[in-house]
């Protein structure tokens, strides 16, 4: 699962000790595999999204009740009046022969305006990739308390790519965009189905998410660059590499846009200590796009290393996950507290240990400042959903 990022992780996991002295609190909302054969899911490997009622939605790579046990679920976890949370599986992949409906949901889901969920699976589908399927783009539609899955597109591999690590984004016209092994693709409704075209050939960027601005321009990162895609006025796209990383390596996660068009993100390596960075990309007519490192992780036990993604709060502070490091070498949640223009102080909000390890993606932040996400481990060892209250 996102193995290119976890090479050092496997070398850094140590024995876990009880936690002491943290003012913040963490609560495990759900331990996966609490049903026979992990029917509730197994191994969450992506961040969460929330709806207006505070319900959380995510995916698992394995588990579920699909009759072919091909792996993975889309789930909802909802708060109850007594303060506990209840998990519900919305869909189990492997319900169709040979996993034609998809397999291995390693990417997050996203909503459209009508309340439908969209996402991708890394494998499964109708063809290609040594008989395992090259992955699908799917839609889940709610009706009468249940959800129905529709496969919008099955990737065939080869020049069109496949095996998408990332999810999808939607534009105002209902077109879908994502990344796979060949580059960035666009799915367009066509004659009752969907047509696919590769709009940016950049093999290997499929493990990252895309971002769209209000004008419909798309931003993303590859292993070494940040790029922009813009409409060319004749049904095609122009691509521009806006930055090539030198003082940060392996940019990952989702680029964030602020109100003035600056981009923020993380790199898995690089920076002053080569343990990862949080960076800002800014544009000016005179200089073009330039980068500023907002924080370089030190790799110390208190600090964390290998950041996986970030999110803003209303005050402009930045929260994020690290996949490794912290006191128990199991990852952290950190905050960059804004103290001036492009100046931040870093503090560790939570250090993972026995309660979970290696949180992926970006945390989800609610209006009260609570942080939510998924992680490996937990007392059953199959992954958790957590809440951290700073």
The full set of domain ranges for the chain reads: 3-389
pLDDT value of residue 18: 35
Interacting residues of 376 by C-beta distance below 8 A, sequence separation 6+ = 43, 356, 357, 358, 383
CA distance 322 to 306: 5
pLDDT value of residue 3: 44
pLDDT value of residue 144: 87
**CATH 1.10.10.60, applies to 3-389:** no
The model's pLDDT over 266-279, given as tens digits with 9 standing for 90+, comes to 999 999 999 999 99
CA distance 322 to 347: 12
Which CA distances in Å does 150 have to 136, 188, 192? 10, 15, 12
pLDDT value of residue 109: 98
pLDDT value of residue 275: 94
Q: What phi and psi, each to the nearest 5 degrees, are found at residue 158?
A: 65, -135
Interacting residues of 251 by C-beta distance below 8 A, sequence separation 6+ = 208, 221, 222, 223, 224, 225, 226, 245, 265, 266, 267, 268
pLDDT value of residue 129: 77
pTM above 0.85, yes or no: yes
pLDDT value of residue 13: 32
Q: What phi and psi, each to the nearest 5 degrees, are found at residue 112?
A: -100, 180
CA distance 60 to 40: 9
CA distance 279 to 267: 8
Round the average pLDDT of the chain to a whole number and report it.
89
pLDDT value of residue 176: 97
Which residues of the chain carry a pLDDT beneath 50? 1-22, 206
């Amino acid at each position: 699962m996102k193995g290119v990022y976890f090479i050092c992780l496997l070398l850094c996991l140590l024995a876990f000790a009880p936690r002491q002295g943290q003012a913040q609190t963490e609560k495990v909302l759900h331990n996966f595999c609490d049903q026979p054969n992990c029917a509730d899911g197994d191994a969450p490997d992506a961040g969460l999204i929330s709806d207006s009622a505070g319900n959380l939605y995510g995916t698992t790579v394995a588990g579920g009740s699909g009759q072919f046990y091909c792996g993975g679920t889309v789930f909802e976890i909802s708060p109850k009046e007594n303060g506990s949370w209840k998990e519900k599986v919305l869909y189990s992949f492997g319900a169709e022969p040979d996993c034609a409906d998809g397999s291995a949901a390693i990417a997050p889901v996203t909503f459209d305006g009508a309340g439908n969920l969209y996402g991708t699976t890394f494998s499964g589908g109708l063809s290609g990739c040594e008989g395992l399927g090259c992955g699908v783009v799917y839609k889940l539609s709610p009706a009468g308390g249940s959800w129905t899955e529709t496969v919008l597109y099955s990737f065939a591999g080869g020049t069109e790519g496949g095996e998408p690590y990332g999810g999808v984004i939607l534009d105002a016209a209902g077109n879908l965009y994502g990344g796979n092994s060949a580059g960035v693709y666009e799915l367009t409704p066509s004659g009752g189905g969907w047509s696919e075209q590769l709009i940016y050939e950049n093999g290997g960027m499929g493990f990252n998410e895309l971002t769209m601005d209000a004008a419909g321009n798309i931003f993303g990162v590859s292993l070494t660059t940040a790029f922009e895609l813009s409409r060319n006025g004749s049904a095609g796209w122009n691509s521009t590499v806006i930055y090539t990383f030198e003082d940060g390596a392996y940019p990952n996660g989702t680029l964030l846009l602020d109100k003035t068009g600056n981009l923020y993100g993380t790199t898995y390596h690089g920076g002053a200590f080569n343990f990862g960075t949080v960076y800002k990309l800014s544009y000016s007519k005179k200089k073009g796009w330039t980068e500023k490192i907002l924080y370089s992780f030190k790799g110390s036990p208190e600090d964390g290393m290998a950041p996986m993604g970030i999110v803003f709060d209303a005050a402009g502070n930045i929260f994020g996950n690290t996949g490794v490091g912290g006191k128990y070498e199991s990852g952290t949640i950190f905050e960059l507290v804004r103290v001036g223009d492009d100046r931040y102080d870093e503090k560790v909000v939570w250090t993972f240990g026995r309660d979970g390890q290696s949180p992926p993606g970006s945390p989800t932040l609610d209006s009260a400042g609570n942080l939510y996400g998924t992680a490996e481990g937990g007392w059953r060892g199959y992954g958790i959903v957590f809440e951290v209250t700073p």
